[in-house]
Amino acid sequence: MAAEIVNSKDGLGEDVIDPAFALHRGGKMAVQATVPVRNADDLSLAYTPGVAKVCSAIADQPELVDDYTWKSQVVAVVTDGSAVLGLGDIGPEASLPVMEGKAILFKQFGGVDAVPIALDCRETDEIVETVARLAPSFGGVNLEDISAPRCFEIEAKLKERLDVPVFHDDQHGTAIVTLAALRNAAKLSGRGLGELRAVISGAGAAGVAIARILVEAGIGDVTVCDRKGVVAAAREDLTDIKRELAGFTNKAGLTGSLEDAMDGADVFIGVSGGTVPEPAVARMAEGAFIFAMANPNPEIHPDVAKKYASVVATGRSDYPNQINNVLAFPGVFAGALQVRATDITEGMKLAAAEALAAVVADELSADKVIPSPFDERVAPAVTSAVAAAARAEGIARR
């Protein structure tokens, strides 16, 4: 038995299996029938010859697939294993436990069925083509743990080709929850988003999406920093995505390091890892908000953050205000599938953030600017808001 699977020895010297391995043995999910097959009559309806009638009807009217198969209720959770949680590029097989976990979160928190799909390919066009060929079986596609900058192009190309929702959760789920928490932090302090200047540490998938949604929501200004400092238009080393990012952020025209950008900032949002020096934190504006979301080690430890900030959030479950994507993606997909939306738009994401913030709007405190993932009000609120937004934008098919 592999040493890492054994947690310890018991009093008799026997191996004690690590509980994580014990839970995952055999996988975490299974397919379950929704109709009985108890006798020949059931069999003749569920399979041949009865199934032929349904197949023929769908062949004549393809839109009936949504009514007479599981398509409109199931999401493909797709990865290439290139950017898995805090583990990095571990490949498709090693990513499967995470994709299974994502699938059960879809079911537990949104009532949405999901199928994990780990692809043994890395080229952007190859992934796009593979997912597009799989798409007839699914009502939506959740892209997961695909490294930047390929994740941006893969999502964009799939959205062009498919008429079902495509959503890269590492980008948009994080952005939705961050905006919701920031709305409530601002409300708690008596300020509006338009009065805030935010600094984002990290210009990958999450950083870009957070910057985009904050600008859409009306943030006063937002500056994004990567390893080389402020993402500014004058830099000659920017990728296409970062050059686009520089075009709609950093209205103040800041240059220099992350620490320079933090001087006087109202908000710090960390999605990069690393450690921010305490003197830089101390130079933030009075009553600042610090969302240090790297896992397992936040960019600014909460004990340090609390010395200077009025609201502190992390990505961890053992501190208040956990910025957790599970607050967003189950309800976002549930709402999109409910109305058979053809896309997930910026308007739907903004609606999700507003609904999520509203769940605890009457219960706000420094330790509660975002609901718990186990708050049963969350998924219905987000689902309803997303469905309504899709109808308002004219992309709902029912």
Chain segment 351-377, per-residue pLDDT in tens: 999 999 999 999 999 999 999 999 999
Q: At CA 383, angle to CA 382 and CA 384, rounded to 5?
A: 95
Q: Is 102 a catalytic residue?
A: yes
For the chain, give the percent of residues with pLDDT over 90.
91
Answer yes or no: is pLDDT of 5 > 70: no
* Structural fold of domain 70-164: Rossmann fold (3.40.50)
* The pLDDT value given to residue 9: 56
Exactly one of 71, 102, 157, 349 is catalytic; which is it?
Answer: 102
pLDDT band at 10 (very low <50, low <70, confident <90, very high): low
User: Which pLDDT score, from 0 to 100, does residue 337 have?
Assistant: 98
* Average pLDDT of the segment spanning 47-70: 96
Strand partners, 108: none
State yes or no: pLDDT of 8 exceeds 60: no
- Closest by Cα among 342, 349, 340, 373 to 359: 373
Binding-site residue ranges: 144-145, 170, 295, 324
Compare 393 and 19 and report the one with higher pLDDT.
393
The two tokens of residue 91 are 């490949």
**Res 86: pLDDT:** 77
Q: What is the pLDDT, as a whole number, of residue 11? A: 54
Would you list the domain boundaries of the chain? 70-164, 170-398
Q: What is the DSSP string of 153-185?
A: HHHHHHHHH-SS-EEEHHHHHHHHHHHHHHHHH
Annotated binding-site positions for (S)-malate: 295, 324
Q: What is the overall mean pLDDT for the chain? A: 95
Residue 254: the pLDDT is 96
Q: Please determine whether the domains at 70-164 and 170-398 fall in the same fold group of CATH.
A: yes
- Cβ neighbours around 31 below 10 Å, total: 6
- What is d(CA 135, CA 158) in angstroms, rounded to the nearest whole number? 10
- Confidence at residue 273, expressed as pLDDT on a 0 to 100 scale: 86
Give the model's confidence band at 326: pLDDT under 50 very low, under 70 low, under 90 confident, else very high: very high
User: Catalytic residue among 9, 28, 47, 308, which?
Assistant: 47
Range scoring the smallest mean pLDDT among 1-10, 19-28, 107-116, 139-148: 1-10
Q: Looking at this protein, which amino acid is placed at residue 358? A: A
| pLDDT over 90 at 85, yes or no | no
Residue 1 has pLDDT above 60, yes or no: no
What number is the average pLDDT over the span 266-292?
Answer: 96
Residue percentage of the chain with pLDDT more than 70? 96
Identify how many contiguous H helices and E strands the chain contains and give both numbers. Answer: 16, 12
pLDDT of 330 over the 80 cut: yes
Radius of gyration of the chain (CA): 23
Containing 221, the helix (H) or strand (E) segment is strand 221-226
CATH superfamily, region 170-398: NAD(P)-binding Rossmann-like Domain (3.40.50.720)
More confident residue, 86 or 250: 250
Residue 14: pLDDT over 80: no
Q: Indicate the annotated binding residues for a divalent metal cation.
A: 144-145, 170
CA angle 294, 296, 297 (to 5 degrees): 65
Please, what's the b/e burial string for 45-61 (b: 16 or more CB within 10 A of its CB; e: otherwise)?
eeeeeeeeeeeeebeee
Q: What's this model's pTM, rounded to 2 decimal places?
A: 0.94
